A and B are shown apart, each in its own frame.
Chain A
């Protein structure tokens, strides 16, 4: 196994939890692995796939994440990987279906499992491992419930009951139970690692106003060393702050958000990895699939929506194990933004009333919902996310021949979700305003107990001084003024020749 690790992936040792998980998977056991962010979850199914005879099917919630994974595999020379999702056009889909048996890694989204043709082709394959990535999406108690995930349990038979590997970074006890129940994972092997990241010091800083927050941010960034990420909930604010940072002499800053095209995304990621940038002002779109070990700090300019995503985002700091910092900035009424976001992501009662009226006046409309998408968006004033929720629900409903009156079920789900999300914001609010150890708070939320004493624990344990963020001397790429020098550097450079 170690040899395979070295040959295929170029690593010399496993990280926490990887080896155990891989052993369980290879032994053909159902496995639930909760490993902290940044511990290399994907290796837990990539490596076994090379050892298992058949195909590995990976179900993942985010389309962009799938492509990232395929790209990562390409990087290590594995071409038998495909992301089978709605991004493929008809021709490519048909081609992929015809040649599905040639792939060793098939990434797909849960909604694709409802395609008859796709399922037919899958059932012809020898699937020796089913991976459910971000498995917490299956639980209504989770922070990111996706109804489509529930369908996974019902396709197991067609897939030939393969061993399941359910992966998640952060799940409370309730969510873990839900995952195992929904996927029918009896006698599963549970590999649970603490969500705690001892080398990340947890700080919260309260300010009085938005303007003061920007001022504090600039001051902090000036004082901090090494690469960092600043997370924002709004693209606009990310842009404004990046601009202010530049005006204040912090030049190696860039923004990153979902609106960038492929070339821009790759360039900014790679600039960051190659230490051409120090600070990324990002929305939550940034981070997944980025393997950068030496990120020294993660700052949240806005209040996170829940503890799970907060942990995931700060977990991108300090993967090299060196002292790192998580800082959350808070100004009065900051909780209003996440509340507005929750509001816009769900379908509220009055929107639901409009939807019902629209469908009940003409029952045909319900069965031909696709035709009316534009009308629906306007009539019920739906956001993109809530439109997706409606479509997901609709897809399931019509499979069971349910009429538009079944929207009442959705209403119940929505109200429950709304409550849960408000509670999640409340939890973050309490975390911010707590006066006791922050690490204890987090561990308590995830049902863990603090086990070790940590030097630079949090602002309540150690005061407002930050840990000493040791930064190695980074090789700075010379900024030539002369274009021929740059061109030489790119095409005629011999220095990097012996690096590999």
Chain B
């Protein structure tokens, strides 16, 4: 069974026949609809959001047909599928996470493409610097990326050979001892004298389908992103690629909040984090409020039902700001929920 088939089977299991299979396609495509976003949370599939943005409907149907043929699922009609016992057995036989383990689409869906484009450009430019070659075509023609890179080179005014050595060390370190095949990334890199492969070519060389390759590739990028975020001091060059608005947001957070954010992004809920981090519920809630203030895209729907949010907003816009009074007017909301909604409002205003 291919890794994509496993992923789809796993998702089918998770949605427990409550949605049609196409909800999974939308999830993997990263469709920005409230239904899909809600599904991602409800069925704990946030990690797989937007991991295959180019997966086509026909390709997805083919995957379903293959699963059907092998009797891993049965079709209930109308796009609805149920996992069979055989499918369930198959998934249970694996202790290891059966799907690329570093995937974290919910957190990185806006960042992974940018990261790859800048990384590939950075490698190409530095490689040509080392070779004293000034004539080459940049493999990315995105003007902001080119400007950013120019800036990057100026900022890191060290000897070009040291720069290359540092980048080499960082890439070598980040790819070593991880549960990935480094060639998935390395084959795509372009240097002064060696031109990288396209995604199709790399898939061919590694003898996998293009779809499977795409999934593994995203997995590697997400692994790097997590690693750089968690140990930013070890990767001074790679860290600079994340210089976006998001990184500024990230820097504003306290160390402890960052840790909580990482857990949340990995799909753990508040109770899990309390257990893992041995912290009080109030502390974790503070972190979440902080995240809502800093990150305007932070979605609070899973913590506060939209209707309750509306009631809180209504009372607060009527001039009542003190938590105590809002609580009296909206008794169904907890203090945490009220704070969260107010924090969210604040971040929305400041944007």
Contacts and interface: CB of A to CB of B under 8 A. Distances in A.
Interface of A: 67, 71, 75-77, 254, 260, 262-264, 266-271, 274, 276, 477, 483-484, 486-500
B165 A262 contact: no
Contacts of B127: 490-491, 493
Given A271-B195, A499-B132, 4 more contacts: A266-B137, A274-B195, A483-B183, A495-B193
Chain A residues touching B, majority SS: helix
Interface size, B (range):
35 or more
27 contacts: A76-B135, A263-B198, A266-B139, A267-B196, A268-B198, A269-B137, A270-B137, A270-B190, A271-B195, A274-B194, A477-B193, A486-B186, A489-B191, A490-B190, A490-B192, A491-B123, A491-B126, A491-B127, A493-B127, A493-B193, A495-B193, A496-B133, A496-B192, A497-B130, A499-B133, A500-B131, A500-B132
A87 B166 CA distance: 38
Nearest to B199: A264
Q: Is the interface of B mostly helix, strand, loop or mixed?
A: loop
Nearest to B169: A491
Contact of A75 (B137, B168, B190): B137
Contact of B191 (A262, A483, A491): A491
A487 B189 contact: yes
Nearest to A67: B141
A99 to B, nearest CB: 14
Interface string B106-150: 000000000000001001001100111111111111000000000
Contacts of A490: 123, 127, 189-192, 194
Contact of A263 (B139, B168, B183): B139
Contacts of B194: 274, 276, 477, 486, 489-490
A499 B135 CA distance: 12
Contact of B136 (A75, A268, A276): A75
A388 B351 CA distance: 42
B308 interface: no
Contact of B197 (A267, A274, A484): A267
A492 B139 contact: no
Nearest to A486: B186
A77 B136 CA distance: 11
Contacts of A274: 193-195
Nearest to B171: A487
B168 A487 contact: yes
Contacts of A76: 135
Interface in B163-191: 164-165, 167-168, 171-172, 175, 182-183, 186-187, 189-191
Contacts of A263: 120, 139-140, 198
A488 B123 CA distance: 12
B61 interface: no
A270 B195 contact: yes
Nearest to A264: B198
Contact of A493 (B120, B130, B167): B130
Given A487-B186, A500-B133, A492 B168 contact: yes
Nearest to A488: B168
A408 B140 CA distance: 46
Contacts of B141: 67, 71, 262
Contact of B165 (A75, A270, A492): A492
Contacts of B187: 486
